[in-house]
Amino acid sequence: MNSMTALVDSYTPGMTLPQGFYTDQTIFETEMQAIFCTQWLFAGHSCDVAQPGQYFTLPIGRESVIVIRDRDGTLRAHFNVCRHRGSKLAWHDRGWVKTLVCPYHGWVYQLDGTLQAARFMEDFTCDEYPLVSAAIREVAGLIFVCLSPQPPDFVMPAAAIAPQLLPHQLEQAKVIVRDRYRVHANWKTILENNRECYHCQVAHPEFMLANYDAGLPGDDRNGNTRFQQTRAAAYQRWQTLGLSPHEVSFPNGSWFRITRLPLRDGFLTESLHGRLTAPPMVDVPDLDVGSLRLVGMPNFWGHANVDYTMTTQVIPISAHETQIDVAFLVRQDAVEGIDYAVDDVAAVWRATSAQDWQICEHNYAGICSSAYRPGRLSASMEASVTEFINWYLRQMTDR
Which chain residues interact with Fe ion by CB under 5 A?
356
C-alpha pair distances (Å), 107 with each of 96, 116, 275: 17, 8, 52
Only one of the segments 102-110, 255-263, 366-374, 378-386 lies at the binding site for ligand FES (rule: CB under 6 A); that segment is 102-110
CA separation for the pair 384, 377 (Å, rounded): 10
Give one DSSP letter per residue of 145-175, joined into a string.
Answer: EE-SSSPPP-HHHHHHHHHHHGGG-GGGEEE
Contact partner, 356, from ligand FES, Fe ion, none, Cβ < 5-8 Å per class: Fe ion
- Among 40, 107, 238, 391, indicate the residue that binds ligand FES (CB under 6 A): 107
Closest to ligand FES by CB, 107 vs 349, is: 107
In this chain, which of 49, 67, 102, 261 binds ligand FES, going by CB under 6 A? 102
Paired sense of beta strands 41-45 and 142-146, if any? antiparallel
β-bridge pairing 133-139 and 115-117:
unpaired
Nearest to 142 by CA among 175, 179, 113: 175
**What is each CA distance from 29 to 11, 23, 252, 352, in whole angstroms?**
20, 11, 27, 30
Instruction: Choose the one of ligand FES, Fe ion, none that binds residue 102, judging by a C-beta under 5 to 8 angstroms depending on kind.
Output: ligand FES
Name which of 84 and 178 has its Cβ closer to ligand FES. 84
Answer with the entry of ligand FES, Fe ion, none that 104 interacts with (C-beta below 5 to 8 A by kind): ligand FES
Least distance in angstroms from the C-beta of 87 to ligand FES? 4
Closest CB 291 distance from ligand FES, rounded Å:
45
Query: Do the Cβ atoms of 311 and 300 come closer than 8 Å?
Result: yes
Tell me the β-bridge partners of 304.
292, 309
**Residue 120: left (phi > 0), alpha (psi -120 to 50), or beta?**
left
**Which span sits near ligand FES by CB under 6 A: 97-105, 154-162, 247-255, 326-334?**
97-105
Q: Is the peptide bond preceding residue 298 cis, with omega within 30 degrees of 0?
A: yes
Looking at the Cβ atoms of 95 and 279, the one nearer to ligand FES is 95
Q: How many helices (H) and strands (E) does the chain have?
A: 10, 17
Q: How far apart are CA 74 and CA 211, in angstroms?
A: 38
Which one of ligand FES, Fe ion, none interacts with residue 185, CB within 5 to 8 A by kind?
none
Please report how close the Cβ of residue 196 comes to Fe ion at its closest, in angstroms: 8
DSSP SS3 for 347: helix
Of residues 57-86, those binding ligand FES (CB under 6 A): 82, 84-85
User: Cα–Cα distance between 399 and 4 in angstroms, integer?
Assistant: 12
CB of 398 to Fe ion, least distance (A): 29
Q: Does 105 bind ligand FES (CB under 6 A)?
A: yes
By beta-carbon proximity to ligand FES, the closer residue of 103 and 266 is 103
Picking from 240, 331, 245, the residue whose alpha carbon sits closest to that of residue 281 is 331
**Which one of ligand FES, Fe ion, none interacts with residue 84, CB within 5 to 8 A by kind?**
ligand FES
Closer Cβ to ligand FES, 80 or 186, answer by number = 80
Q: Judged by CB, which is closer to ligand FES: 101, or 156?
A: 101
Q: Binding mask 230-269 vs ligand FES (x if CB under 6 A, - otherwise)?
A: ----------------------------------------
Scanning the chain, the segments in alpha helix (DSSP H) are 2-9, 20-23, 25-31, 155-165, 187-194, 200-203, 205-210, 225-240, 342-367, 383-397
Which of ligand FES, Fe ion, none sits in contact with 31, Cβ below 5 to 8 A by type? none
| Residue 176 binds: one of Fe ion, ligand FES, none (C-beta under 5 to 8 A by kind) | none
**Residue with Cβ nearer ligand FES (127 or 398):** 127
Q: Identify residue 367 by its one-letter amino acid code.
A: I
Report d(CA 380, CA 219) in Å as an integer: 5
Q: Which is nearer to ligand FES, 83 or 188 (CB)?
A: 83
Specify the residue, 105 or 184, whose C-beta has the smaller distance to ligand FES: 105
Least separation in angstroms between CB 112 and ligand FES: 18
Per CB under 6 A, residues contacting ligand FES are 82, 84-85, 87, 102, 104-107
